[in-house]
Amino acid sequence: MITLCAVVLIFLGLLFLLRGSFVGIAFGLILLGNGINLTIFAGSKPRLGMFAFVDRGAATSLSNDPVPQALVLTAIVIGFALLGFVVALIRKVAAIGPIDGSFMKEEDADE
């Protein structure tokens, strides 16, 4: 079930990214990042009711692997920073206005 949710999030993220609107790109990045994080977490096969840490002297077979959880937490922080950068970039592009690409066509005609 977790894998199905991850696939749906990744698919929706790619769909929003391909739409091309600035808001769609921002939502697409959020959904794509969350889907990938969920995939990493589901790949670690977490056990219900088990913690990533154990007491001193306890059996380590009763705990979950903490590395995927640390990777997901790091990815969440990086994804949030990326989202902030994308939002700032979108605001700057919206303030500048549309970019005219006609200057590239003139240079190609001279060669």
Give residue-wise pLDDT tens across range 88-108: 988 888 888 776 656 656 555
The domain ranges of the chain are 2-48+64-99
For 52-99, what is each residue's pLDDT tens digit?
A: 666 677 666 666 777 888 888 899 999 899 889 988 988 888 888 776
Span 40-53, average pLDDT:
71
User: Would you state the pLDDT for residue 96?
Assistant: 83
Torsion from C-alpha of 88, 93, 95, 96, nearest 10 degrees: 140
Q: Give CA separation, 103 vs 21, 92, 98, 111, in Å.
A: 24, 21, 14, 14
| CB-neighbour burial class of residue 57 (10 A; exposed 0-12, middle 13-18, buried 19+) | exposed
pLDDT at 11 over 90: yes
Asked if the model's pLDDT at residue 25 lies above 60, the reply is: yes
Question: Is residue 109's pLDDT more than 80?
Answer: no
| Six-digit token string for 103 | 């200057």
